[in-house]
Structure 1
Amino acid sequence: MSERADCALRAAEAGGAVAVGSFREGIAVETKADKTDVVTQADRDAQDAVVATIRDDYPEDAIVGEENDELRAVPDSGAAWVIDPIDGTNNFVRGIRMWATSVAATIDGEAVAGASVCPALEDTYLLDEGEAYRNGEQISVSDRTDPEAFTVVPTVWWPHERREEYAAICRGIVERFGDMRRFGSAQLALALCAAGAVEGVVTNVEANPWDSVVGAGLVEAAGGTVTDIHGEPWRHDSRGLVASNGEAHDLVLAAAREAEAEADAGR
């Protein structure tokens, strides 16, 4: 294991261990921007554990994170760490097991290693040297080619005033593919795409880097395709995120663009 992958894994495990200690324990919940944007003390405590682990090995690197006073954007030069102590906090506070502690290592804005630890599911996803793993076993995207057999996931929540876009993307999915899921954790959805459990993950929303960098890296390392809403290679600051097993990416992209058409109509 590379040094940065090892640090990412240890940091994600440390944060996950803190978070799972409060899972289903009736922890107090606060709201942020709206009624579904929630945070708990477990988020803050888990982030502290993640940061402390990283700082032991890389005291000078930039840290980008959702909670506390970390940076909000990935620097385009130098080394940085992108962290989410609990991706899927709404699931966490409802006692639903689908959440992850994610840590990515980036160099000059590109992910070089990362880990998403899902303590309540007992799954650990690792990105290291261009390979993707789950629980130590290498994973790859689904080999399904028939869209009618695909399961596609809408992800990254739309603000209340943009729910027409969410409805449009759901319509785009159900009209083109066999099934649809929504997991409530973008990092977990992308990890499941990398592992072949689903064939696509889509949003036209600009994804926060802490919600997406590890997962997008896992999909690409597992043999999939990740683009922005325009079909260009995805970056941490792209508009939209469209990930697939690569077998019918244009069709997955078309579903995502249903939401973008709705957004354009509302502008």
Structure 2
Amino acid sequence: MTSDPAERLAVAREAATAGGERALQDFRGDVAVETKSGPTDYVTEADRAAQRTVVETIRDSFPDDPIVGEEDETPNSVPESGPAWVIDPIDGTANYVRGMHCWTTAVAAVEDGEPVAAVIAAPALGDLYAAGEDGATRNGDRISVASRSDPQEAAVCPTLWWSRDRREEFGAVADAVVRSFGDCRRIGSAQYELALVADGALDATIANVFASPWDTIAGAHVVRQAGGRVTDVEGERWRHDARGIVASSGEIHDEALEATQAGDGARQ
């Protein structure tokens, strides 16, 4: 380990807080909006400004570490060895541009490709989730995953999004969720959905598609530190390069995994 994980957690907290506060300045304001890969794949000047704030904060303490991010010219793959940072200035930009409060700023510190510290700030909601190596917290208070074991009492969230030519897979996953579980949620910020699993509000969040590391690494770490389980679509331990993500309390993981695999069954 190249540095104290507690130090990295402190910097992650500072960076996520600063980036979230910068994004909050433009929330529900007159901010320039562009699209990337599709009509609802948004990027805003707030994303870029928040990312600059996050990067500058990290660089103050770790000037030489690689930083993997969604915007600007940052690398988009996680190094397999050594320290690095994985950041998302606004996860849930579609919510952000619509004036919805469920968006986050996520910062994770990784070592040899594995997260060692993570913070997810939800500034419009006044919440900050954090995890180092000894548990997870919300606003400084310890959190843990749900203890519900009856799928009919569980709320499960299909997370991420499926490309236009794969929407039948989303339909199959959503159908499996509403048939197998008590309730279905879709919130629009993968990091926030993962934080809600860690906090016991959701029982699982699932997808059978590849995810960008900035959408998932921080939240996966928080879930695990809160006592939950995170696997890929095959049920193997999840990594940032895995296909699919199934993050749950552990109590209903097998059922969540089966619902996720329904997407594969619908693939043409």
SS at match of 1:2: helix
What's the TM-score once normalised by structure 1's chain length? Answer: 0.98
Tell me the residue number matched to 1:24: 28
Tell me the residue number matched to 1:110: 114
For the Cα contact (< 8 Å) 2:203–2:252, is it kept in 1? no
- Kindly state the Cα deviation for residue 129 of structure 1 after the two structures are TM-superposed: 1.5
Q: Provide, for residues 123-171 of structure 1, a one-character-per-residue CA deviation record: whole Å limited to 9, x for no partner.
A: 0000112311000001000000100000000001111111111111000
Tell me the residue number matched to 2:132: 128
Q: Which of 204, 226, 244 is residue 240 of structure 1 equivalent to? A: 244
Q: Which of 41, 44, 47 is residue 48 of structure 2 equivalent to? A: 44
AA aligned opposite 1:58: F
Confirm or deny that 1:69 pairs with 2:105: no
- Kindly state the Cα deviation for residue 27 of structure 1 after the two structures are TM-superposed: 1.3
Distance 1:26 1:204 in 2: 36
Confirm or deny that 1:177 pairs with 2:181: yes
AA aligned opposite 1:89: T
Distance 2:228 2:20 in 1: 27
AA aligned opposite 1:45: A
Q: Provide, for residues 51-89 of structure 1, a one-character-per-residue CA deviation record: whole Å limited to 9, x for no partner.
A: 000001001101000000011011110000000000000
Give the number of equivalent residue pairs: 264
Distance 1:102 1:130 in 2: 19
SS at match of 1:54: helix
For the Cα contact (< 8 Å) 2:85–2:107, is it kept in 1? yes
- Kindly state the Cα deviation for residue 30 of structure 1 after the two structures are TM-superposed: 0.3
Q: Which of 103, 123, 141 is residue 145 of structure 2 equivalent to? A: 141
- Kindly state the Cα deviation for residue 99 of structure 1 after the two structures are TM-superposed: 0.3
AA aligned opposite 2:239: R
**Which deviates more from structure 2 when the two are superposed, residues 35-44 or residues 124-133?**
124-133
Tell me the residue number matched to 2:210: 206
Distance 1:243 1:175 in 2: 19
AA aligned opposite 1:259: G
Structure 1: any 5+ residue segments left out of the alignment?
none
AA aligned opposite 2:94: N
Q: Which runs of 4+ in 1 moved over 2 A?
A: none
Confirm or deny that 1:15 pairs with 2:5: no
AA aligned opposite 1:262: A
Distance 1:142 1:133 in 2: 14
Distance 2:241 2:176 in 1: 24
Distance 2:27 2:165 in 1: 31
Distance 2:206 2:36 in 1: 24
Q: CA RMSD in A?
A: 0.8
Tell me the residue number matched to 1:197: 201
Identity, in percent, stands at 53
Distance 1:144 1:26 in 2: 43
For the Cα contact (< 8 Å) 2:80–2:113, is it kept in 1? yes
Counterparts of 1:211-230 in structure 2 under 5 Å?
211-230=215-234
AA aligned opposite 2:242: S
Q: Provide, for residues 109-132 of structure 1, a one-character-per-residue CA deviation record: whole Å limited to 9, x for no partner.
A: 000001000100000000112311
Distance 1:254 1:129 in 2: 30
